[in-house]
Amino acid sequence: MTRSSPFSVRGRHALLIVKDERDLAIVRRQLGRLGMSVSETAPEQLSPPNVPADVIVLDADSIPIKSDPASALKCDAPVIALIGTETPSRLKWLLDLQPASFLVKPLRSAGLYTALVVAFDCAQRRSEEAAHIERLEMRIRSRRVVLAAVLQLMRSHALSEADAFTLLRQTAMRHRTTIEQLSADMVTLGGMPNRSSRMA
């Protein structure tokens, strides 16, 4: 899979959840100059509309601290938080939100492109890390299944661990499948699959 460039923002879509008209005008104008499309929703709604967004620009000061950050935004898009109130309680809420980037208010014309690049890069890295963790967890689950299949072969054919694994590997090659898939089939069937059966 080709990694998309965080520097390429043209053609992407931003959802603005900003209350202050001045901040809204600045963000809207800068995103337009960068070639991004925009949709808007009021901070009071706390539920983004059904518009696929590549990034969310959120005025964090306009969201009540008592609200749950996780449920406030049920969206996978990275968040750029606009923050002006630097109290510990507000910053704690912001940390729980886990924004990909932020801008300090009052906003200026500069800085939004940097925040976008950081947000897109952060989102890409988080996605890649989640996929890597999922692959590692899958390998751990697969190893347990392979071990169960090896133990099954050791018991049923009175083989050593090395010989049982060799038999498993050779059978997988013969069936043109992976050791993990063959092991899963063995555990399910309680023995070696029929050679004539088609293996995925």
The overall pTM is greater than 0.85:
no
How large a percentage of the chain has pLDDT more than 90?
A: 38
Mean pLDDT of 25-53: 83
Mean pLDDT of 50-61: 86
> Same domain, yes or no, for 87 and 163?
no
Q: pLDDT tens digits for 111-167?
A: 999 999 999 999 888 888 988 898 888 888 888 889 999 999 999 889 999 999 999
Cα separation, 79 vs 200, whole angstroms: 41
Mean pLDDT of 69-83: 77
Return the structure tokens found at 1: 């899979």
Whether the per-residue pLDDT at 46 is higher than 70: the answer is no
> Same domain, yes or no, for 21 and 74?
yes
Beta bridge partners of 81: 58, 102
Structural domains in the chain (count): 2
Whether the per-residue pLDDT at 67 is higher than 80: the answer is no
Any domain includes 138: yes
pLDDT value at position 118?
Answer: 94
Helix (H) or strand (E) holding 16: strand 13-17
pLDDT value at position 136?
Answer: 87
What CATH number does residue 63 fall under?
3.40.50.2300
Any domain includes 119: no
Any domain includes 8: no
- For 31-148, where are the E strands, in sequence order? 37-40, 55-59, 79-83, 101-104
Any domain includes 72: yes
Cα separation, 153 vs 68, whole angstroms: 52
Whether the per-residue pLDDT at 48 is higher than 70: the answer is no
Residue carrying structure tokens 């923050």: 83
User: pLDDT higher for 33 or 138?
Assistant: 33
Mean pLDDT of 13-42: 92
Mean pLDDT of 14-18: 91
> Same domain, yes or no, for 83 and 157?
no
- Residues with Cβ within 8 Å of residue 178, at least 6 apart in sequence: 172
23 C-beta neighbours (distance < 10 Å), count:
21
> Same domain, yes or no, for 37 and 90?
yes
- For 45-100, where are the E strands, in sequence order? 55-59, 79-83
Cα separation, 56 vs 16, whole angstroms: 6
pLDDT value at position 62?
Answer: 84
Return the structure tokens found at 109: 């014309």
Whether the per-residue pLDDT at 199 is higher than 80: the answer is no
What CATH number does residue 166 fall under?
1.10.10.10
Pick from 110, 140, 168: which residue ends a domain?
Answer: 110
Q: Is 21 exposed, middle or buried (0-12, 13-18, 19+ CB in 10 A)?
A: exposed
Any domain includes 3: no
Cα separation, 43 vs 63, whole angstroms: 6
- Residues with Cβ within 8 Å of residue 190, at least 6 apart in sequence: 152
Q: pLDDT tens digits for 163-194?
A: 999 999 999 999 899 888 899 888 888 877 76
| Amino acid residing at 29 | R
Mean pLDDT of 73-88: 85
> Same domain, yes or no, for 80 and 147?
no
Q: Which domain holds residue 183?
A: 131-189
Residue carrying structure tokens 């399910």: 188
Q: Is 105 exposed, middle or buried (0-12, 13-18, 19+ CB in 10 A)?
A: middle
